[in-house]
C-alpha cells in the first residue's frame, strides 16, 4: 500500500501485514527527489520476502533551500509525525536510516541530534535507530567542485555571472554547509567519532558506506569506525550507486543484510 506523506513527494510503501517489525527511512540528496533518487527500490523491495514485515518511507524535502541543521529538524519532525505516529509503529523493533549524498549528512546529523538532547521525541527515535545507517555516496567529506566551478564561472560573460550569483543566493544554503572542511561537517565528524569511541557497541554511530568507482561529486571519505561494505562499484557513479536494478542488485542486498543483522 502506497501513501503520500507531504507536498514534496514523500511517500510510504507499507507492508501488507498489520504488525511490521521494521521501518526503513530513505533520505535523498542535494537536488534529489523521493522517487527519482531511489527509482526501482520501492518496486523491487515489495518482491523481496525478507522485507515482508518492513515498512518503507521515502522522505521528500526542499534539499537546496535549508541549512543542514534546519533540514535535520524537518527530518526529525517527519519521522515523528509520519513514521512513528500511527499504531503500526508500536510494533517496530528497529528503524534503519538510508541516506544518499546530502541525505547521508542529514541522517548522521539526526543521530547526533537525538544523542545530544534528551526529550521524549528524541528518546523514541534514538531507541529505534539501533542499527548502522546505510549511506550511499555520502557527502560527509564535502563536495569536490568548488575550484572547478569558480574557474568555469570566471570564463562566462559578466551578465551571466550576475544571474548565476543571484540564483546561488537562493539555492546555496545547504551547499555552503557541504563545502569540504565546513564547520558543520567538521563538527558532525568530531562529535560522531567521539560518540562512537565512548559507546563502541552503539551501531548508529558506525555507518555502512557504499561508493561507485566513478564518483566525481563528493570526497570518498569515511569516519574512523565506519565500514565500507564493498570495493567501489565499477560502472557506477554518484547518482547510480544507490539505484538497484536487475543487473545491479547490490543496493538492495546491502539493505536486506543490514536489517538481517540488526537487533530484534
Residue 73: give the domain boundaries. Answer: 2-261
Total structural domains in the chain? Answer: 1
Q: What pLDDT was estimated at residue 1? A: 59
This prediction has a pTM of 0.90
pLDDT along the chain (264 residues), means of 10: 72 88 95 93 92 95 90 96 91 96 97 94 93 96 68 51 56 77 96 96 96 95 95 96 96 95 76
109: exposed, middle or buried (C-beta count within 10 Å: 0-12, 13-18, 19+)?
buried
Domain with 219 in it: what CATH number?
Answer: 3.40.50.1820
Amino acid at each position: 500500500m502506497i501513501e503520500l506523506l507531504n507536498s514534496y513527494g514523500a511517500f510510504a510503501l507499507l507492508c501488507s501485514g498489520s504488525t511490521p517489525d521494521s521501518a526503513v527511512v530513505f533520505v535523498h540528496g542535494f537536488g534529489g527527489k523521493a522517487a527519482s533518487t531511489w527509482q526501482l527500490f520501492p518496486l523491487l523491495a515489495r518482491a523481496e520476502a525478507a522485507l515482508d514485515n518492513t515498512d518503507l518511507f521515502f522522505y521528500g524535502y526542499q534539499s537546496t533551500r535549508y541549512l543542514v541543521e534546519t533540514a535535520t529538524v524537518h527530518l526529525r519532525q517527519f519521522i515523528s509525525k509520519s513514521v512513528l505516529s500511527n499504531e503500526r509503529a508500536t510494533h517496530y523493533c528497529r528503524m534503519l536510516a538510508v541516506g544518499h549524498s546530502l541525505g547521508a549528512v542529514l541522517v548522521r546529523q539526526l543521530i547526533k541530534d537525538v544523542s545530544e538532547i534528551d526529550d521524549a521525541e528524541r528518546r523514541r527515535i534514538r531507541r529505534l535507530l539501533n542499527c548502522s545507517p546505510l549511506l550511499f555516496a555520502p557527502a560527509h567529506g564535502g563536495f569536490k567542485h568548488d575550484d572547478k566551478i569558480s574557474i568555469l564561472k570566471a570564463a562566462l560573460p559578466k551578465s551571466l555571472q550576475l544571474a548565476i550569483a543571484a540564483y546561488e543566493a537562493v539555492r546555496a544554503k545547504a551547499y555552503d554547509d557541504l563545502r569540504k572542511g565546513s564547520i558543520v561537517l567538521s563538527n558532525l565528524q568530531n562529535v560522531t567519532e567521539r560518540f562512537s569511541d565512548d559507546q563502541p557497541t552503539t551501531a548508529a554511530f558506525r555507518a555502512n558506506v557504499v561508493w561507485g568507482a566513478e564518483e566525481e561529486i563528493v570526497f570518498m571519505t569515511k569516519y574512523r569506525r565506519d565500514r565500507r561494505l564493498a570495493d567501489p562499484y565499477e560502472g557506477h557513479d554518484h547518482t547510480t550507486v544507490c539505484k538497484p536494478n536487475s543487473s545491479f542488485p547490490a543496493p538492495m542486498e546491502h539493505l536486506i543484510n543490514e536489517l538481517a543483522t540488526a537487533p530484534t
